[in-house]
Amino acid sequence: MRDIPGGDVINCCRITIVYDSEGLPGFKTGWGFSALVQMNDVSILFDCGWDGNILRHNLDRLGIRFADIDKIVLSHSHWDHISGLAEALSDPGSRTTEVVAPSSFSKNLKAEIEKRAELRVIDGPEEIAPGVMSTGILGGDVKEQSLVIVCGEKGVLVTGCAHPGVRNIVSRAAQMAKPSWLIGGLHDARAADMPESLDRVVLCHCTQNKDSALERFGDRASIAKVGETFVPQF
């Protein structure tokens, strides 16, 4: 949060890593990814990791119940991003949770989700909640959506695995807000694929070229740990 001329304040959001391979003391880790996005009065769980029990434990440590989550956004259909969904929808209070999934999900998977939640299917760019946008599905063999949290003219880009390519995702996100933060799994993206103008890079989950990204961005980059909360400041 920072002051701007006129005395106004921009307070964007809070993003907490709740499932990943490294964690702070007291949090459980595993292969997969999930992040909790809190924007104004809306709580959005982005992906669910693999093991729902690990996801539940980590949210409990943060004082968050599944029933507190308003929406669950799934980036793509790989097991390490969606397998925790059944546990996330297991609480009676979460039966009205909206699940936002790419249209590329199979007919059977969509049907199973609809048994437990309200399903919203995404094709193109679309508002998920005030100030939170989906990039819409991108990619070829692996179709994937990412989140763009809009804070004025700048934005936070949150990716699951970035299978469609970081350059493609950043290009789409820039239609909504200039990406100033990049958080999430980046798969085999090279550091050169990431805009030099980024204020912060948080390397999560499947990112293979972490060392080169840390070298390029210096103290603007870090490797995420479960339990860490990030508050972008613009």
pLDDT at 8 over 60: no
Strand partners, 36: 16, 45
Residues 6 or more apart whose CB falls under 8 angstroms from that of 213 comprise 186, 191, 194, 201, 203, 207, 221
pLDDT confidence of residue 228: 98
Do 42 and 90 contact (CB within 8 A), yes or no? no
CA dist 81 and 85 (Å) reads 8
Cβ atoms 56, 87 nearer than 8 A: yes
**Residues in the chain, total:** 234
Cα 52–chain centre separation:
17
The pLDDT score that the predictor gives to residue 92 is 72
Residues 6+ apart with CB under 8 A from 32: 19, 20, 47, 48, 49, 50, 51, 80, 81, 83, 84, 205
In tens, the pLDDT along 97-140 reads: 899 999 999 999 999 999 999 999 999 999 999 999 999 999 99
Determine the 3-state secondary structure of 93 from DSSP: helix
DSSP category for residue 226: B
CATH superfamily of domain region 11-230: Ribonuclease Z/Hydroxyacylglutathione hydrolase-like (3.60.15.10)
Q: Which two structure tokens, joined as six digits, stand for 223?
A: 């490797």
Instruction: Annotate 13-40 with b (16+ C-beta within 10 A) or e (fewer).
Output: bebbbbbbbebeeebbbbebbbbbbbbe
Nearest of 158, 130, 133 to residue 224 by alpha carbon: 158
The confidence score (pLDDT) of residue 1 equals: 26
Residue-wise pLDDT tens digits, 76-92: 999 999 999 999 998 87
Query: What pLDDT sits at residue 97?
Result: 85
Do strands 147-151 and 154-159 pair parallel, antiparallel, or not at all (unpaired)? antiparallel
Contact between 100 and 128 under an 8 Å Cβ cutoff? The reply is: yes
- Per-residue pLDDT at 6 exceeds 70: no
Q: Are 35 and 6 in contact (CB under 8 A)?
A: no
DSSP string of 15-53?
Answer: EEEEESSSB-TT----SS-EEEEEETTEEEEE---S-HH
Q: Looking at the predicted structure, is the pLDDT value of residue 11 above 60?
A: no
Task: Please tell me the pTM assigned to this model.
Answer: 0.93
User: Mean pLDDT, to the nearest integer, of 45-63?
Assistant: 98
